[in-house]
Amino acid sequence: MNLIIDVGNTFVKLAVFKTDRLVFKTSVELVNTVDKIKQLKKDFPKLKQAIVSSVGKLQKQQIALVQDVLDVVVLTHKTKIPFKNKYATPKTLGIDRIALVSASVYHYPKNNVLIVDAGTCITYDFITDTNEYLGGAISPGIRMRYKSLHNLTANLPLLDTEVPKHNIGTSTNDAIHSGVVNGVINEIDGFIKSYRENFLDLTVILTGGDANFLSEQLKSSIFANSNFLLEGLNYILKFNSN
């Protein structure tokens, strides 16, 4: 069994896989990570190995404590991956994006795949049917857009995310909702349309924290999978265990 440790800035996602099947998933605060992992080792005695994806602040001492109970792979740009990385600056490619592309290789081998990860930022990652990762794009996520309008202007309010009632906002609040949410929807649909004009038989995956909110509004045909990153990390761990 495999343990996936996906570290954010405040919370850590922990997932247990039995081969390829997700059997457990939770989130804990960063300070409680090691204690929770030790508890999971007791709950799942067949846990043998783990992978750490750390875009946050899991310290070396904490990783060392995990290594006391499990064989650990720490994902970096040097880790063996199941695709050809054609990114011009591979050292700067986010490890979350590496995990997402790895998941696409596992689920959709020999396919042109566009992965849209709608979280704090919206990332677009493209891999060809010849298993070459070419790159993609990064833009502000939904909450970042709301916060930017509030923080970088004098009078615009900070609003909660909401599906706009109309394209034409007849009040300031409605105009903000229309601009942010419709802007994101049109951006994603536009990217998908552009990729489909250049690559045949394109598979599109939508994941990330805002995936469910967006999936019902997108015009394009997509597959929504909230566990895609975790599945990619599990595949990388298996790939490095062979």
9 annotated to bind ligand: yes
97 annotated to bind ligand: yes
120 annotated to bind ligand: yes
130 annotated to bind ligand: no
179 annotated to bind ligand: no
13 annotated to bind ligand: yes
User: One of 71, 96, 129, 160 is an active-site residue; which one?
Assistant: 96
Going by C-alpha positions, the residue among 95, 146, 148 that lies closest to residue 123 is: 95
Q: Cα–Cα distance between 63 and 96 in angstroms, integer?
A: 18
- Per-position DSSP letters for 164-209, written without gaps between them: -S-SS-SSHHHHHHIIIIIHHHHHHHHHHHHHHHHSSSEEEEEEST
11 annotated to bind ligand: yes
Q: Cα–Cα distance between 211 and 25 in angstroms, integer?
A: 18
87 annotated to bind ligand: yes
96 a catalytic residue: yes
Q: Cα–Cα distance between 76 and 92 in angstroms, integer?
A: 10
Total number of residues shown for the chain: 242
The pair of structure tokens assigned to 139 is 């833009």
Q: Which residues are annotated as a binding site?
A: 6-13, 87, 94-97, 117, 120, 172
| Residues labelled catalytic | 96
Q: Which residues are annotated as a binding site for ATP?
A: 6-13, 120
